[in-house]
Each structure stands twice: as C-alpha cells, then as structure tokens.
C-alpha cells in the first residue's frame, strides 16, 4: 500500500499541472499567459530548497551518528534537489525568453543560481573522488553543511541587495505584494506542496534502493 503523503503528492501535482494550464489567471502586463509558469518554475525552487535542507539535516546526522545510511539519505536528497534545480533553471529560462526577451540575462539571481548549482555539482565530484566510504561520508557532510548557507545567501539574500529583474529582488515587488491574487494562490500553494512531496518520494525510492544494495553487500 502506498503511503498517504505519496498519494497526496500525486493528487496535488496532477491538480497543479492541469489547473495551472486551464484555470483563469490575471492578465498582467508583460507576463500575460506566461504567468502560468509560476506554478511550474517557482515550486521547483521551493522544492529544491526543502530537499537541500533535508540533505543538510542528514549531513548533520551523518557527523553525529557516523552512520553510512544517514550519508546515503543526505546524498539522495541533494541529488533530487539538484534535479529540481535543473528543471527550475530550464523553466526559468523559457519564462525569461518570453518576458525579458532572452534565455539568460545578466541578472544577479540567475548568475547566483548558476554558481550555487555548480557548488552542489562540486559536492558530487567530491563524493566520487573519495573511495573510503567513511571518509567520503564525513568530508561530503561537512562540504554539504558549508554549501547550504552559501546557496541561501546566493539565491535569496544577494539578489535582494542589487538591481534585479526578478520579482521580489532589487526593489522589484514580489508576487506576494500585488500580483499573487487568490486565483494564483489556489494553484500555487498546492503545486509547491505537491512537488515537495514528490521530491521526497523520489529521494525515498533512491534511499531504499541504496539500502538494499548496502544490505546485499554486507551479506556478501
């Protein structure tokens, strides 16, 4: 039997996918119908943040318990977080092309996101470069704990201090202040919750597969 939160994730994302395309949206200047991307692009970043926080929590547990299984969980959450980050970048680029006229502008938020993603890419390179599993777990947990605060500063704090095209940054009003009316909220919040739950499900599947592999290796 599938757990309730997985079923909730499926229902919420299906609702967000279909409702996001069919439900009415406010006709905002420049954004027009592209405002619908709010339901796909923004939940990816929210989901990614949630998954990266979970990864950091398991990194702390790895250091405290010295348990390899905690490291497996930390890596899986980071992996799915990066998948969400990549989808967030692609949906953002498509949105940028339709509203700002270019796939990639010299916007501080875009550049910060790219730097942050590269930092997490380095996390996976670091992991693959160490053979001893215990050493790998400890060093990558420390690096993970270094990455998260820097990533948050890069994506959520730094763009607010400089001029930026992104809503809510550099003096631009965010969607919360006047754009995000109740019609958008009806799909946006379920989309964020649904994608977060789906991300945790994907990570859960990965963790369980790796757990079985570890158990098999221990048997042998």
Partner 1 sequence: MNKFIINQVQTHSSNMPDAAGTDKFMVVVAVIAILFIGIVGYMVSLDLKLKKLEKK
Query: What does the binding site for partner 1 look like in residue numbers (CB under 8 A)?
Result: 2, 6, 10, 13-14, 17-18, 21-22, 29-34, 98-101, 165, 201-202, 205, 208-209, 212
Structural contact between residues 167 and 40, judged by C-beta atoms closer than 8 angstroms: no
Q: Tokens for 61?
A: 């547990």
CB of 191 to partner 1, least distance (A): 13
Residue 187: half-sphere exposure toward Cβ, Cα within 13 Å: 25
CB of 126 to partner 1, least distance (A): 28
CB of 204 to partner 1, least distance (A): 8
CB of 11 to partner 1, least distance (A): 10
Which bin fits 170, alpha (ψ -120 to 50), beta or left (φ > 0)?
A: left
Query: 18 or 153, CB closer to partner 1?
Result: 18
CB of 185 to partner 1, least distance (A): 19
CA proximity to 19, closest of 189, 210, 144: 189
Query: 149 or 173, CB closer to partner 1?
Result: 173
CA 12/CA 188 separation, integer angstroms: 10
Query: 64 or 213, CB closer to partner 1?
Result: 213
CA 212/CA 111 separation, integer angstroms: 39
Q: Tokens for 4?
A: 């309730």
Report the first-to-last Cα separation within the chain, whole angstroms.
30
Query: 135 or 211, CB closer to partner 1?
Result: 211
CA 139/CA 117 separation, integer angstroms: 19
Query: 119 or 165, CB closer to partner 1?
Result: 165
């Amino acid at each position: 039997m599938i757990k309730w939160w997985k079923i909730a994730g499926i229902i919420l994302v299906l609702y967000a996918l279909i409702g996001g395309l069919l439900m009415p949206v406010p006709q905002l200047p420049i954004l027009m119908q592209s405002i619908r991307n709010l339901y796909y692009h923004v939940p990816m970043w929210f989901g990614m943040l949630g998954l990266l926080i979970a990864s950091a929590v398991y990194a702390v547990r790895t250091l405290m318990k010295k348990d390899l299984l905690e490291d497996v969980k930390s890596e899986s959450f980071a992996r799915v977080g990066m998948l969400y980050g990549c989808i967030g970048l692609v949906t953002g680029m498509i949105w940028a092309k339709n509203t700002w006229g270019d796939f990639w502008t010299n916007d501080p938020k875009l550049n910060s996101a790219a730097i942050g993603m590269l930092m997490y890419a380095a996390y996976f390179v670091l992991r693959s470069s160490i053979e001893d599993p215990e050493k790998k777990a400890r060093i990558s947990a420390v690096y993970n704990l270094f990455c998260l605060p820097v990533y948050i500063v890069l994506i959520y704090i730094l763009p607010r201090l400089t001029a930026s095209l992104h809503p809510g940054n550099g003096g631009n009003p965010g969607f919360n202040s006047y754009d995000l009316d109740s019609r958008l909220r009806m799909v946006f919040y379920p989309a964020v919750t649904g994608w977060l739950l789906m991300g945790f499900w994907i990570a859960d599947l990965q963790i369980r597969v790796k757990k079985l592999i570890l158990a098999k290796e221990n048997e042998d």
